[in-house]
Amino acid sequence: MRFARSSLAATLLPLLFLAAAPAQTDDHSGTYSSGTWLSTDGRAVAGRIDFAGDRDWFRLSVVTGDRYEVRTANLTAEMDSVIALFAPSGARVGYDDDSGGGRASYLAWTATASGTAYLALLHYSSTGLGGYQVLATRTPASPAPAPTPTDGGGGNPAPGTIAGPKVFDPKLAGASCSLAFGVPGSGTQTATLVVLDAAGQTVATPFPAGSVTGGQTLSARWDGRTSAGSFASPGSYRAALKVGGQTIASLPVAVVRLGAVQVAWQGTGRVPLLYHRSDPAAVRSYLPVDSIGSSWSLATSTGSLDATNGTPLAAPSIWTDTRTPPRTSSGAVATRGVSLPVAYASGGARSVRITLGSRAYSASGTALTAGYPVSGLPIRVVVEGVPSGEVSPGAAVTLTLAPRTGGVGREDRSIDVRFQYSDGGVWRDVPGSQTFAQRFYTLLRQPALLPSGAATGAPYVSWVWVVDRVAAWSAGSATTDTGVLDQVTRKIYGTQSLYYDDQSGAPAYSDGSPTLSTFDLAAYDLRRYGSLVNCTDCANLVSIHARMVGVDARNVYLGSSFPLHWIKGIGRNFTHSLFGGNHAFSFHMIASATGGSRVHDATLALDGDGDPANSPSSELIPLGLPFQTYHDLLTPGSFQALAQDRSRFE
């Protein structure tokens, strides 16, 4: 598709697009044909007007009759956005400056043709710079009440014609072949609509014979089943309109079998995950999630989308065990028929590789082809509004999607795999979709897990168990290092039923090293050594949990031998007589992402009432306290930050 040069220039004049932008580094293309794909499910894409005259282009896959809303949000202080929307024909269909509130922009538009629409985004000032987020939402056209069908793009047919989808998979979720037909003449006539196979045999009668009045537009729906109740096999069919016993119109309908058998989530933003107890009988037995296979798959080794009785293979449920992988009835790790967790760094590049099924089955158990390619009707896949090129059975296609954004969290998401066919250059929806569920984790950034001298690989991969815990604690609210550390510290201190060892101050799960501590995280999961802990245990818990979701938190060693003000050890009450009256620390350990200048400490709460040397006391959990403030509330003496490092864990 190509814009007419004169038309494009005319529509872009008001947007100051005529001046060529200088060749500079840009986050989104300055050319409409290579613009970033923008999903239509409300997921925001971040961008920036990087230089004077910069304009960022985006592409949207649109469907006839659907309503699209595009808006900008989260503008930086210096940003004043302007957006312009262009239909697949190249005609400008919308332009807006400030309808989104403040300096944000907003447009709404109903597509009159399917295809690729284009969105241009720029600064109101020709020299302005600034950051933004842009998002689009799609509201599908509401199906009209019966008898008017959703006809797959054919519109109301003329008398003596049939409109409806020319490609149909009756086994897709929500699929229905809606057919509209116009009856010629004006008097009462006998009409029927039948579906014929390639041999001309009637396989279904969506509109039984009856008296109708000429000049009407009527409708019928074929569910893709034969009169015997079984699904029609892939192949060539036609809907035939008979009036007075004579066939006066027909519409070719290709029955196909569409769907994914495997889905692999990819992109540089993806974060590898690890099951730490692949053998439930062992304390630790590491298994990278990626080693199992695709993130999602049907239970098939043949590429079939169906069971041998012809019914569609059931989509697997999300695997929710965060410690161990799914297993077959024989005890082996299940590599097919699974939906495994996937993690992405917020804002990181995201893509999906979809492997299509290549065969189907009839109700009698006969193996069938998928029924496409269909001559003259190329088919493509669409996920999150992003289309592929033409596909064929068994092919694998990769789509670049909008990044996951937001704070650390977890989302169990329903993914729609849709299909379209091109008829005369216009892309139309194949009725229905394939829907499956996937669990996604959003992390702050790519984790920094390796301590000094450690080798890459297990166990220094983000554990599903830990990521899931932090994601649940944050629930999308933690968007910064401090936010993550605040959540983790608060939860470790207040919700894990841990108790400070106020008799000996000994570690339970750490080796106690003040410089490069090793923490037995797998044993802690089982509480193998009980619930009495000390500062090295708590610092390790905070820093390791934070590191696994992308915060480079270190253990900071504080020493040495200093007296204490009133403190409240984890799980305890305020006291001024630890260790049998010897109320002092020989050393202490905290977590910090700033080299110790800001302190997160889950071991204890300080007395925050302004008089830490005396009772009564007011609980103050150290959540990002400045070092000197923390120091003065903890001790009447003195200590220093002597060493820091990422701890080891196993």
Q: Which has the higher per-residue pLDDT, 142 or 42?
A: 42
Q: What is the pLDDT of residue 637?
A: 96
**Backbone torsion region of residue 549, taken as left when φ is above 0, otherwise alpha when ψ lies between -120 and 50, otherwise beta:** alpha
Checking if the pLDDT of 644 tops 60, the result is yes
Identify the domain containing residue 10 by its residue range: 5-139
Percentage of the residues of the chain whose pLDDT score is greater than 70: 93
Checking if the pLDDT of 412 tops 90, the result is yes
Decide which of 226, 255, 284 is a domain's last residue: 255
Q: Is residue 462 domain-resident?
A: no
Interhelix angle 481-495/464-474, nearest 10 degrees: 100
Q: Is residue 353 domain-resident?
A: yes
Q: What is the pLDDT of residue 21?
A: 43
Decide which of 255, 287, 314 is a domain's last residue: 255
Same structural domain for residues 434 and 303? yes
Same structural domain for residues 238 and 274? no
Checking if the pLDDT of 148 tops 50, the result is no
Cβ atoms of residues 591 and 601 within 8 Å: yes
Backbone angles phi and psi of 489, in degrees to 5: -60, -45
Same structural domain for residues 271 and 228? no
Cβ atoms of residues 360 and 257 within 8 Å: yes
Cβ atoms of residues 194 and 253 within 8 Å: no
- Residue 198: how many other CB atoms lie within 10 Å: 9
Using CA atoms of 542, 545, 547, 551 in order, give the dihedral in degrees to the nearest 10: -70
Checking if the pLDDT of 115 tops 70, the result is yes
The domain total for the chain is: 4
Q: How confident is the model at residue 60 (pLDDT cuts 50, 70, 90)?
A: confident
pLDDT for 162-212, tens place per residue? 999 999 999 999 999 999 998 888 888 899 999 999 999 999 999 999 888
Tokens of 332: 């082996």
Q: Quick one: average pLDDT of 31-56?
A: 87
Vertex 394, ends 258 and 295: CA angle to 5°? 85
Same structural domain for residues 535 and 624? yes
Checking if the pLDDT of 68 tops 70, the result is yes
Q: Quick one: average pLDDT of 525-531?
A: 97
Same structural domain for residues 317 and 403? yes
Q: Is residue 448 domain-resident?
A: no
CA atoms within 13 A on the CB side of 117: 32
Q: Is residue 146 domain-resident?
A: no
CATH number for the domain harbouring residue 234: 2.60.40.4070
Q: Is residue 453 domain-resident?
A: no
Q: Say if residue 443 is exposed, middle or buried (CB neighbours under 10 Å; 0-12, 13-18, 19+).
A: buried
Checking if the pLDDT of 216 tops 90, the result is no
pLDDT for 268-303, tens place per residue? 999 999 999 999 899 999 999 999 999 999 999 999
Cβ atoms of residues 577 and 569 within 8 Å: no
Locus of tokens 């204890």: 604
Checking if the pLDDT of 17 tops 60, the result is no
Tokens of 283: 């304390």
Same structural domain for residues 226 and 270? no
Cβ atoms of residues 598 and 592 within 8 Å: yes
Q: Is residue 497 domain-resident?
A: yes
Lowest-confidence range among 109-118, 348-357, 475-484, 593-602?
109-118
Same structural domain for residues 96 and 213? no
Checking if the pLDDT of 347 tops 80, the result is yes
Nearest partner of 87 among 55, 58, 56, 119, judged by Cα: 119
Q: Is residue 450 domain-resident?
A: no
Q: Is residue 291 domain-resident?
A: yes
Distance from the Cα of residue 567 to its chain's centroid = 44
pLDDT for 301-335, tens place per residue? 999 999 999 999 999 999 999 999 999 999 999 99
| C-alpha to C-alpha distance for 599 and 592, rounded to whole angstroms | 5
Same structural domain for residues 545 and 573? yes
Average pLDDT, rounded, for the chain: 90
Checking if the pLDDT of 1 tops 80, the result is no
Same structural domain for residues 269 and 237? no
Decide which of 230, 255, 280 is a domain's last residue: 255
Backbone angles phi and psi of 295, in degrees to 5: -60, -35
**Backbone torsion region of residue 93, taken as left when φ is above 0, otherwise alpha when ψ lies between -120 and 50, otherwise beta:** alpha
| C-alpha to C-alpha distance for 121 and 427, rounded to whole angstroms | 26
First to last CA, the chain: 56
Q: How confident is the model at residue 147 (pLDDT cuts 50, 70, 90)?
A: very low
Checking if the pLDDT of 14 tops 50, the result is no
Checking if the pLDDT of 222 tops 80, the result is yes
Q: What is the pLDDT of residue 140?
A: 80
Same structural domain for residues 535 and 630? yes
Q: What is the pLDDT of residue 155?
A: 53
Q: Quick one: average pLDDT of 453-476?
A: 96
> What's the whole-model pTM score?
0.78
Q: Is the dihedral of CA 423, 428, 434, 438 positive or negative?
A: positive
Q: What is the pLDDT of residue 62?
A: 85
Same structural domain for residues 307 and 436? yes
Checking if the pLDDT of 150 tops 70, the result is no
Q: How confident is the model at residue 151 (pLDDT cuts 50, 70, 90)?
A: very low
Q: Quick one: average pLDDT of 99-127?
A: 91
CATH number for the domain harbouring residue 29: 2.60.120.380
Checking if the pLDDT of 578 tops 80, the result is yes
Q: Quick one: average pLDDT of 392-419?
A: 93
| Sheet containing 115-123, strands listed edge to edge, beginning at the edge strand earlier in sequence | 36-37, 55-62, 115-123, 81-86, 92-96
Tokens of 129: 């710079």
Lowest-confidence range among 280-294, 340-354, 503-517?
503-517
Most confident of 8-17, 62-71, 97-106, 359-368: 359-368
Same structural domain for residues 264 and 238? no
